[in-house]
Structure formats: structure tokens, C-alpha cells
Amino acid sequence: MKKISVGIIGFGTVGTGVATILKKNAALLRQRLGATIELKRIADLDIQRDRGVALKPGVLTSDANEIINDPDIDIVVELIGGTNAAKKMTLQAVKNGKHVVTANKALLSKHGHELFSAAAENGVDIAFEASVGGGIPIIRTIQEGLASDRILSFFGILNGTANYILSRMTDEGGDFQDILKDAQEEGYAEADPTFDVEGIDTMHKLCVLIGLAFGKKVSEKKIYTEGISKITPLDIEFARELGYRIKLLAICRGSEKGVDARIHPTLIPEGHLLAQVNNTLNAVFLQSEDLGPTMLYGHGAGMMPTGSAVVADIVSLSRDIVKNTANRVPYLPVNGKKKAGEIAIKPIKEIEARYYLRFSAIDKPGILSQISGILGRNNISIYSVVQKGRRMRGGSVPIFMLVHESKESDIQKALKQIDRLSILRQKTMLIRIEEGL
């Protein structure tokens, strides 16, 4: 029976999951694959800590080069995260003729095309199902299930930490900071939660999906990225009253000619399937020309779900090795075109949307007239407005407003004028609404 040797670089949460599954399911994998997968080496800076997986002596090493340059190793699993060392290691592994499995969305978002091109040149593959949506088979679905189809739009809840915090704020009505602290204690948020709560992790994943869906490079800095740290219980409560849930959404609409792509907290109708995706779970809701709507749902992170997606990639590459083939499913732009162009991203100022606005004003006569006057002069038409009693810190009164479809540039101009009014106590809260998903 053929033996396929695997080396893992990075023995953290996902690495431990991969090692656990390869050991626990060895017989199953042998049966399904018709070959043996051997976990030959694991590299990590910390080779002392007990991860609860029994390994043969000599498997652990603190030198990743012992994996990358080992001629016996067929598949390198890169799980160290970050973009610099990970890029170097991945490129070297590829040049050494090794297939690579990675869960590193930051790496693929920034250097994806360079890495995929290098892989194709060297006749190997880079598999990356675990990089977006953890165990959700979104990469495979775009590459294979939608092989004949044109993607029109997709909307993703792609960060478990942010979704967990928003879900608890929705269920319990707590403050962002308090629930973040809880989440950190429970292990659902990292000590430095910036990447997760400020939408950066979601943006990396969106860039990976755009690259895959439209076969072009994506410039991260052109993607408008706004996190959830400014969302208050008042916003969540009022959104609920209006029949909406607030989700941190990755949004993409368009074609290879250009996309409206952005990350921000979004009001979505409570009856939509995505509104039911709660806690740490992730989902992608996708619309394509022939298939219509599709939604994929599941765990977007975690030791075993993500580990399972990595092992599925190892199996897929192993099937190619068994069949002595490679580059069976080319990363799109590499196929046929030497150079992938960069996709045009519509600047946030140019979008049109419906908006939720929360003004924090002093409780005085004439406020609404001043605010609505400025909105009207900026072509913004009010859909509904609700003013409730004193409920905010500092004695100000919240005024909730939904406006009809407007230009973002008009909204921003109006808010600049409104926020300069002496009756306004805080910066106005703006949340975009997504109805057409």
C-alpha cells in the first residue's frame, strides 16, 4: 500500500486537531484512500507542551526546514499563520515539489496569486479549504460545484468571534465590552481581539473568496472594513424591533469586471436564513446565475472542524498523488492566463443602500426638524423615525431612523453636517441595511 508522508508546521489548535484526526481515523482514511497517510514530522517553536496527542519519538522538531527540505515528505501543512515566514516556507515547499495545505487566510489574501502561480509552475497544488469558513466546504463548492456557473453575489458570516459577540448581545442585551471580556475568558476571543472584532479576519476571507470566484487579484486596502466594536445594545434592540438582526457581513456583488465588496455590521431581515446563523457558527449565502441561491453553514473555526477540513485537503491531495496527477483543478486565473489582473473594487462612497441611523441629541424642541432638514437637502428621504425617552449616558436622547435607498456619499455628507450641530452629543451611528440577499 502506498504511503503518503505529511509534515505539519505549527502545532497550535488546528495542528493538534489535524494530528488527532490523522491518528484517530487512520484506518478509515486507509480504507477510503487505498493508501496510508503517515504524519512524519511536526514543527513548532514549542515542542515541550503536551497537546494530548501521543506521537512517536522523533516526530517533533523545532526546525520547520526539516519538514520543508525532507525529500520523503509529500504534503506540507502550513498552520503557523502570519504572512512573512508562512510565505517563505510555502514557496520553498512548493519549489521542493511538495503539495501544501494551508488554513492561512491572511497569507492567501495577500500573496495568494503568487503562491498559486508558483505551485502551478512546480506541478504541485495548494489546498486551502480550511482558510475560509473552517469546515464549511465553500472553497470546494466554488471550485467544483460552481465550475460551470457565474457567481452574482455572496454574503458571508465568516468570523465566529464576532458572530458570537453579536449573538450574545442580541440574546442578552449586554454591552460589547462586557461580552467581549466573557468571550475572552471562554476562549472564543483572543487576548488581542482586533482581527476578529474589527473585521480584518473577515476581510482576508472575503479577499480569498473574491480571488477564487472571479479569478483576479484583490487589493486588501480597497476593501472597506468596519468592525462591530461600536455597536450598542440600543442598536441591536432597535434593529430587532424593526425586524432585523445585526451581523458582521462580508458582502460581494459583481463579476470579474468589478465588485461591490465590503465588510461591515449589517442589518439583515430576521426572516433570512443568514439571520438564523448564531453563536460561533459561520455561513455563506451565495447567488449564482444557474444554480440560484445556495447556503453553506457550519463551524468556521475550532480544533476539530478546521482540522477536519485540513485533513479533507490532505486526502484530496493524496488521491492525486495515488493517481500520479496534479493541478487537476487549477486555481482559475492560473489556467490559461499568465497574469491575473486586479479586480476593480467599487469605493464605499459610490455604493447605494438603505441605512439605519441613530442620532444622540439633546432633548430640546426642533431637533428633528434640524436633522431632517439636513437629510432632505442631501437627497436623503426618511422611511421611518422613532424617538424614545431618555435612555443614553450623558442625558442624550436616541433618535432612530431608517432612510430610503441613498447614496453613501450623500449620507456621509449629511452626517458630517449633522454631527457638527450643537444639539448632537455623540457621533451618529450608521449601519447599512442589506435587503436583497
Interface with its own copies, residue 296, by CB under 8 A = yes
Tell me whether residue 306 or residue 396 sits nearer to its own copies (CB atom).
306
CB atoms within 10 A of CB 359: 26
CB atoms within 10 A of CB 134: 27
Residues 227 and 159 sit within 8 Å (Cβ to Cβ): no
Contacts (CB under 8 A) with its own copies, residues 397-436: none
Kindly list the catalytic residues: 205
b/e sequence 102-115, b meaning 16+ C-beta within 10 Å: bbbbbbbbbbbbeb
Interface with its own copies, residue 314, by CB under 8 A = yes
Tell me the three cell numbers of residue 73.
515528505
From residue 269, give the alpha-carbon distance in Å to each of 238, 246, 247, 437.
13, 9, 10, 9
Query: Which region among 51-59, 89-97, 282-290, 401-409 touches its own copies (by CB under 8 A)?
Result: 282-290
**CA atoms in the 13 A half-sphere facing the CB of 436:** 9
Which of 52, 57, 71, 336 forms a contact with its own copies (CB under 8 A)?
A: 336
Fill in the per-residue mask, 74 to 113: x = in contact with its own copies (CB under 8 A), - = not in contact: ----------------------------------------
Compute the least distance from the CB of residue 269 to its own copies, in Å. 12
b/e sequence 259-271, b meaning 16+ C-beta within 10 Å: bbbbbbbbbbeee
Compute the least distance from the CB of residue 25 to its own copies, in Å. 5
Tell me whether residue 203 or residue 311 sits nearer to its own copies (CB atom).
311
Query: Applying CB under 8 A, what is the total number of residues that bind its own copies?
Result: 62
From residue 289, give the alpha-carbon distance in Å to each of 151, 208, 218.
6, 21, 22
Phi-psi region of 99 (alpha: psi -120 to 50; beta: other; left: phi over 0): beta
Contacts (CB under 8 A) with its own copies, residues 215-274: 271, 273
Contacts (CB under 8 A) with its own copies, residues 134-153: 135-137, 140-141, 144-150
* Spatial separation of the C-alpha atoms in residues 245 and 50, rounded to whole Å: 42
Compute the least distance from the CB of residue 142 to its own copies, in Å. 10
Interface with its own copies, residue 23, by CB under 8 A = no
Tell me whether residue 219 or residue 325 sits nearer to its own copies (CB atom).
325
Compute the least distance from the CB of residue 335 to its own copies, in Å. 5
**Using CB atoms within 10 A of its CB, is residue 332 exposed (0-12), middle (13-18) or buried (19+)?**
buried
* Spatial separation of the C-alpha atoms in residues 21 and 53, rounded to whole Å: 10
Q: What residues make contact with its own copies under the rule CB under 8 A?
A: 17, 21, 25, 28-29, 31-34, 129, 135-137, 140-141, 144-150, 271, 273, 276-277, 281, 288-299, 302, 304-305, 307-309, 311-312, 314-316, 319-320, 323-325, 327-330, 332, 335-336
